[in-house]
Amino acid sequence: MIIPCIDLMGGKVVQLVQGREKALEGDPPLDMLRRFAAFPEIQVIDLDAAMGTGENGAIVELLAARARCRVGGGVRTAERARSLIAQGAHRVIVGTAAFTPVIEDIVAAVGADRVIIALDSKDGKVVVKGWRQATDAAAEDVVGRLEPYCRGFLCTYVDKEGMMQGTDLNWFRRLRAATAHEITAAGGITTMEEIRALSAMHIDAALGMAIYRGKLDLAALADLCW
């Protein structure tokens, strides 16, 4: 499955490089949603909520009401997860909280089938708190113990996120070997060849910068979804 990304900051659709530097702004949120209408699911991330600098709740709710969306950004409490599901989110993406006891409260509130755990890796280690704090664990070493708390994993190769330089297929192969759960790959995916390689591993692809820069054709991507 191909999953286009809508990342929100300050009420606008943006793309960042490695979660820090804003590289571009997209069309207004509803316009982007219309551009992505051919895809079965959209990924919506509230970057302000993730970084603790604000929130884009009204836009998130609007998008979730109009499309099947997986929503992340600042999902650190059961109340936040429950609220997003109530607003129409199909699933919630949990990052930092997945490494704390709060994950049990979130699962109790919405059910494991509604949870995607973000396993974001930089320099070989899982990073949390908006990719600003490194842990001492590698994603492939912790994925197994997190399986009971989610339906699948969003695995971002932060080293190449937004850089249009390709991703690390070997990392995704190690992750695939470590879990039978759903995996969505993100971070640096730039070519149709990479997408096909991921698909052969039964890994979905969440795409951002390569779509926004026009490197990947939306019509060709939509054809892969069916």
Asked if 209 and 162 count as a contact pair (C-beta separation under 8 A), the reply is yes
Annotation says 136 is catalytic: no
Which residues are bridge partners to 182 per DSSP? 152
Catalytic residue among 31, 120, 123, 168: 120
Catalytic residue among 7, 46, 48, 204: 7
Give the contacts of 97 (CB within 8 A, at least 6 positions apart): 75, 76, 77, 103, 106
Q: Where are the beta strands (DSSP E) in the chain?
A: 2-9, 12-17, 21-25, 42-46, 69-72, 91-94, 115-122, 125-128, 133-134, 152-157, 182-186, 204-207
197 residue type, one letter:
A
Helical residues (DSSP H) of 36-114, grouped into ranges: 47-51, 57-66, 78-86, 102-110
Can you tell me the distance from the alpha carbon of 38 to that of 45, in angstroms, rounded to the nearest whole number? 20
Annotation says 123 is catalytic: no
Q: Which residues are catalytic?
A: 7, 120
